[in-house]
Amino acid sequence: NAGVTQTPKFRILKIGQSMTLQCAQDMNHNYMYWYRQDPGMGLKLIYYSVGAGITDKGEVPNGYNVSRSTTEDFPLRLELAAPSQTSVYFCASSYGTSGSGVDEQFFGPGTRLTVL
Amino acid sequence: AQSVAQPEDQVNVAEGNPLTVKCTYSVSGNPYLFWYVQYPNRGLQFLLKYITGDNLVKGSYGFEAEFNKSQTSFHLKKPSALVSDSALYFCAVRPFTSGTYKYIFGTGTRLKVLA
C-alpha cells in the first residue's frame, strides 16, 4: 500500500494564481481531511469529507474548495492565491470508527506552498 | 470552546533519562485522545491513542501515555529517551460528540534528546 500520497511536494505561486493540491489514499478509508500547518500554530483543519460526495468546512475554509468524487481522491483547490496561504498542507485519512473504536489518522508527506 | 494545550514549546532531556511531554484538553464529554510524532519534512505518524479502558496506554517505539480524567490530561512518556526520539510531538483529541468527525490538535512540542 502506498498509504496517503500528495502531489506536488513543493510549489511557488504568484498572488492571484490558482492550483490544485492532489491527495489520494489506497486504504479504502471513508474519512479524509485537509490541514495546514503554520509554524508554532499546530494543524488547522481546512475541509474534511466523510465519504464520496460529502464534504464539510473545518476551521479555516476561506480561500479553499474541495471535492470528493471517489473514495480514493480528495483534491484541495486554491482559486486566488494569497500570501496568507503560504503554509505546509497535509492530507490525512482514517476509517473513522471501527470495531476497535475511533481510528487514528494516516498522513501524507505534505505539500509546501509559497505564495509570492 | 474545545481545545488542546501543549504547554511546553520545547522539552530537552538527556539520552537515557525518562521523558514527559504534556498535554491537557478541554472538551465536552469523553474524548478520544491521540499522540502523533513528526520528523523533519515528513507527515505526522501515529504513536498511540486512548479510547476507553486502562488509563495507561502503550504505543509505538516504547512510548506510553497516561489518561487522567480528573486533570483532563494525556501526558506522553518514555522511560529512557533516545537521540532518535528528537522530533515534534502533537497531541490531538476527537470529542465524543455525535456527528463530529473533527480532530483538534495542539500546537506541538519539540523534543530534543541530548547525547
Domain that holds residue A41: 4-101
Domain that holds residue B76: 3-114
Tell if the CB–CB gap between B51 and A100 is shorter than 8 Å.
yes
Please give the residue of chain A at the shortest CA–CA distance from B103: A45
Q: Can you give the CATH number for the domain in which A68 is found?
A: 2.60.40.10
Q: Can you give the CATH number for the domain in which B28 is found?
A: 2.60.40.10
Residue A116 covered by a domain? no
Does A53 score more than 80 pLDDT? yes
Q: pLDDT tens-digit profile of B5-19? A: 999 999 999 999 999
Please give the residue of chain B at the shortest CA–CA distance from A33: B102
Residue A13 covered by a domain? yes
Q: pLDDT tens-digit profile of A58-116? A: 989 999 999 999 999 999 999 899 999 999 999 999 987 655 556 889 999 999 999 99
Residue A44 covered by a domain? yes
A77 by Cβ neighbours in 10 Å (0-12 / 13-18 / 19+) ranks as middle
Residue A36 covered by a domain? yes
Q: Nearest CB to B90: which of A42, A58, A108?
A: A42
Question: What's the whole-number average pLDDT of chain B?
Answer: 92
Q: How many domains are there within chain B?
A: 1
Report residue A2's pLDDT band, with 50, 70 and 90 as the boundaries: confident
CA–CA dist B13, A41 (Å, integer): 23
Q: How many domains are there within chain A?
A: 1
Q: pLDDT tens-digit profile of B37-66? A: 999 888 899 999 998 888 999 999 999 999
* Residue B32 touches partner A, C-beta closer than 8 Å: yes
Residue A111 covered by a domain? no
CB atoms within 10 A of CB A34: 27
Q: Nearest CB to A104: which of B43, B49, B107?
A: B49
